[in-house]
Amino acid sequence: MDFFEHQERARRSTRWLILLYLLAVAGIVLVVNAGVGLAWVMAAWPLDNVPAGTISAAARAIDRGAPGSALGLLAGGYFLQVVPQKVYWASTGLTLLVILGASLYKVGQLAEGGESVAGMLGAARVSGRSQDPLERRLLNVVEEMAIAAGVSVPPVFVMNDEPGINAFAAGYAPNQAVVAVTRGALEQLNRDELQGVIGHEFSHILNGDMRLNIHLIGVLHGIVFVGQIGEFMLRSLRHKGSGSRDDTRVAAALVLVGLVLMVVGYLGLFFARLIKAAISRQREFLADASGVQFTRNPDGLAGALDRIAAASGAHGAGSEIRNLHAEEMSHLFFGQSVNMWFSGLFATHPPLEERIARIRPGFAQTRYRRARPQPAAGLEAYAAGSGAQAAAGFAASAGAAAEAPTAQGWGASNGLSAAVGRLGPDDVDMARRVLGAIPAPLRDAARGLPGAAHLALAMALDADAAVRTAQRELIEAARGAGDAAAVFALRERGGALARAWVLPLTELALPALKSLPQAERDGLLAQLESLAQADRRVTLSEFVLLTFLRQGLRAGAGRPPAARYRDLHELEADAQVLLAVLAHAGRGDTASAYAQALEAAGLVPAAVPEAASLTLGRVGDALERLRLLAPLAKPRLLKACLAAAEADGVYRVAEVELLRTVAATLDCPLPPVIESLDPASLAA
CB within 8 Å of 656: residues ≥ 6 apart = 407, 645, 673, 674
| Separation CA 580–CA 590 (nearest Å) | 8
| Separation CA 684–CA 540 (nearest Å) | 11
Nearest Cα to Cα of residue 329 among 178, 120, 525: 120
Instruction: Give the model's pLDDT for residue 612.
Output: 83
Q: Between the CA atoms of 30, 34, 36 and 42, what dihedral angle is there, to the nearest 10 degrees? A: 180
Amino acid, single-letter form, for residue 395: A
Backbone phi, psi, residue 479, to 5°: -130, -10
| Separation CA 139–CA 180 (nearest Å) | 11
| Separation CA 60–CA 52 (nearest Å) | 13
Nearest Cα to Cα of residue 456 among 373, 385, 358, 530: 530
- Residue 126 and residue 138 in contact, taking contact as beta carbons nearer than 8 Å: yes
**Buried-state track 628-651, b at ≥16 Cβ within 10 A, e below 16:** bbbbebbbbbbbbbbbbbbbbeeb
Helix (H, G, I), strand (E, B) or coil at 674: strand
| Separation CA 125–CA 449 (nearest Å) | 14
For the segment 296-352, what is each residue's pLDDT rounded down to a tens digit?
888 999 999 999 988 876 556 789 999 988 888 888 899 988 876 555 556 778 888
- Residue 349 and residue 299 in contact, taking contact as beta carbons nearer than 8 Å: no
Question: Residue 207 pairs with which residues in a beta bridge?
Answer: none
Instruction: Give the model's pLDDT for residue 110.
Output: 84
| Separation CA 490–CA 41 (nearest Å) | 78
What is the distance between the terminal CA atoms of the chain, rounded to a whole angstrom? Answer: 35
| Separation CA 265–CA 28 (nearest Å) | 9
| Separation CA 137–CA 147 (nearest Å) | 16
For the chain, list residues with pLDDT below 70.
Answer: 1-18, 38-39, 41-82, 227-262, 264-265, 313-316, 340-346, 383-425, 494-500, 558, 560, 672-684
Instruction: Give the model's pLDDT for residue 141.
Output: 93
Residue 624: CB atoms within 10 Å: 14
Active-site residue list? 201
**DSSP string covering 229-245, please?**
HHHHHHHHHHTPPP--H
Instruction: Give the model's pLDDT for residue 230.
Output: 62
Q: Which part of the chain is CATH 3.30.2010.10?
A: 114-214+285-371
Residue 399: CB atoms within 10 Å: 8
| Separation CA 584–CA 611 (nearest Å) | 7
Task: Name the H helices within 312-437.
Answer: 343-346, 352-359, 365-371, 379-383, 386-393, 415-419, 425-437
- Residue 305 and residue 167 in contact, taking contact as beta carbons nearer than 8 Å: no
**What is 114-214+285-371's CATH superfamily?**
Metalloproteases ("zincins"), catalytic domain (3.30.2010.10)
